[in-house]
Chain A
Amino acid sequence: MTILLFGITKDIVGSSTLSVPTSSATGRKVPKTVKELKQFLGETYPELNKLSSLAVAVNNNYAEDGELINSYDEIALIPPVSGG
């Protein structure tokens, strides 16, 4: 599962994309919903947990926390940006 990163999430991760394994060889729970994905990423990048409004898009549409995700989905993390 590939995740596109925007705004400050790109700075936090240090890259514009991130790969999340869809089958677990490590015993870690594989995220099945948007909420689980946020938790999964927050464990690796705790700075992400600080973002109070983080939009997640699944296949180019805004997704609520409960939405199911699978390995074919195109996912993006889109925090608000403020520069002008």
Chain B
Amino acid sequence: MESRYARQTILKDFGEAGQAKLTKAKVLVVGLGGLGLPVLQYLNAMGVGTLGLMDQDVVELHNLQRQILYAEHDLGKQKLDVVFQKLNEQNSSTTLIMHDSFLTKENALDTIRDYDVVVDATDNFPTRYLINDACVILDKPFVYGALHGFEGHVSVFNHLDGPTYRCLYPNMPSPDEMPNCNENGVLGVVPGIIGTLQALEVVKILTGIGEVLSGKLLLFNGLNQHISKIGFKPNSENKNIKKLQEFYEPLDCEVISTVSAETFQTIRESESKITLIDVRTEEEFEGHHLEEALHLPLNQINQYAPTKGDMAIYVICQSGKRSEIAVKHLQEAHPNLTFYSILGGMNKMLAICP
């Protein structure tokens, strides 16, 4: 009987032995977005025995230009459910483990412990540093991919004696020094390229073929197809992490007033006048906003001037991250007023609004 993996087992350096290693392997993919999906589709097709899926987002319209596993009829569904179904159809012999959560410092060690390799397919610095620290503590390699516009970065961190993410970038950037994906675009095809390179690194780690991209940062420039590799060395201090940090979200240490989307909706329905500031970009605001919202993008938040009579001011963004940053700044600048960040942002409001 012809094996479905014949085209790779026929490769002399991979062979049945390589396939057997994939079958036995357990890989966790954190983030079911532009990077995580191609990683999963290839690892699942190639016969990695156990795949862990971790995300709590729903499929949104602006995901579709780069997250090509999702179809229009998936809009509004949990990414986890959609990916589970599609991967199961693609290869029914894979054991798929669903983690219906984001990675947090509470669940990171227990989640990662059971896997051989972790794929960092996230879109934010706090989770990237959390993955790094948890993998160092548990002695697991992780395959890193990250994007910026037309550019992509790939590396394998904490592989055997190799360096870690902190050997390259010791300190986490503060939220206001770097844009995230919503504010800073990504050309649809670039995550596909970077995610596919990550999948290749996972296969090399698991089977021992080739040279793992450890101690090297691969930089891909999509505009000129230029690929460069930067060498870097381990710093023993960074290999010696014994426990997770108290805080990863830099805002955890500040008290930010928040309100749930459900509560905010009740307030909207009962109050005749409320003040709501939408801190998303012009494009996002133009695309859709709540009718009473005033627009003030996060990068202009220090221009906010309160209107007389305002007491409670609500702040919203897409997912609730930028509104937290905005509330922090606003609360400092206007201590006599109370600002509330709406948890889950527009994503949540759209899900609950009638």
Which residues does A use to contact B, with CB under 8 Å? Answer: 4, 6-8, 10-11, 16, 50-53, 55, 57, 60-62, 76, 78-84
With A6-B219, A8-B148, A60-B230 as given contacts, are A83 and B173 in contact (CB-CB < 8 Å)?
Answer: no
Q: In the complex, what residue of chain A is closest to B30 when comparing beta carbons?
A: A84
Q: Which of B76-84, B121-129, B265-273, B278-286 contacts A (4 or more CB under 8 A)?
A: B121-129
A selection of 8 A-B contacts at a CB cut-off of 8 Å is: A8-B148, A11-B184, A52-B174, A80-B168, A81-B148, A82-B125, A82-B148, A84-B33
Q: Is the CB of A78 within 8 A of B219?
A: yes
Encode contact with A along B21-65: 1 for CB under 8 Å, 0 otherwise: 000000000010111100000000000000000000000000000
Q: Is the CB of B125 within 8 A of A50?
A: no
Q: Is the CB of A82 within 8 A of B174?
A: no
Q: Kindly state whether residue B229 has any CB partner on chain A within 8 Å.
A: yes
In whole angstroms, what is the CA distance A32 to B174 when docked?
Answer: 29
Chain B residues positioned under 8 Å from A79 (CB to CB): 173, 178
Q: What number of residue pairs across chains A and B have CB atoms under 8 A from each other?
A: 102
Minimal beta-carbon separation of B281 from chain A (angstroms): 15
Chain A residues positioned under 8 Å from B217 (CB to CB): 55, 78
> A interface, by DSSP: helix, strand, loop or mixed?
mixed
- Besides A62-B231, A80-B173, 18 more A-B contacts (Cβ < 8 Å) are A6-B151, A8-B179, A11-B149, A11-B184, A53-B172, A55-B232, A62-B233, A78-B219, A82-B125, A82-B148, A82-B173, A82-B178, A83-B146, A83-B147, A83-B149, A84-B122, A84-B146, A84-B181
Neighbour of B146 across the interface among A11, A16, A81, CB < 8 A: A81
In whole angstroms, what is the CA distance A78 to B232 when docked?
Answer: 12
Chain B residues positioned under 8 Å from A83 (CB to CB): 123, 146-149, 180-181, 184, 186
Q: Is the CB of B230 within 8 A of A8?
A: no
Q: Is the CB of B153 within 8 A of A61?
A: no
Q: In the complex, what residue of chain B is closest to A51 when comparing beta carbons?
A: B177
In whole angstroms, what is the CA distance A81 to B150 when docked?
Answer: 12
Chain A residues positioned under 8 Å from B3 (CB to CB): none
Minimal beta-carbon separation of A24 from chain B (angstroms): 29
Encode contact with A along B160-203: 1 for CB under 8 Å, 0 otherwise: 00000000111111100111110010100001000000000000
Q: Is the CB of A80 within 8 A of B125?
A: yes
Total chain B interface residues with beta-carbon distance under 8 A: 43
With A6-B219, A78-B217 as given contacts, are A62 and B122 in contact (CB-CB < 8 Å)?
Answer: no
Q: In the complex, what residue of chain B is closest to A54 when comparing beta carbons?
A: B169
Q: By CB atoms of chain A within 10 A, which of B123, B124, B232 has the most?
A: B232
Chain A residues positioned under 8 Å from B121 (CB to CB): 84
In whole angstroms, what is the CA distance A74 to B344 when docked?
Answer: 45
Neighbour of B148 across the interface among A7, A60, A62, A76, CB < 8 A: A7
With A6-B151, A7-B151, A60-B230 as given contacts, are A82 and B168 in contact (CB-CB < 8 Å)?
Answer: no
Minimal beta-carbon separation of B128 from chain A (angstroms): 7
Q: Kindly state whether residue B263 has any CB partner on chain A within 8 Å.
A: no
Neighbour of B228 across the interface among A50, A55, A60, CB < 8 A: A60
Q: Kindly state whether residue B145 has any CB partner on chain A within 8 Å.
A: yes
Neighbour of A53 across the interface among B34, B170, B219, CB < 8 A: B170
Chain B residues positioned under 8 Å from A84 (CB to CB): 31, 33-36, 121-124, 145-147, 181, 191
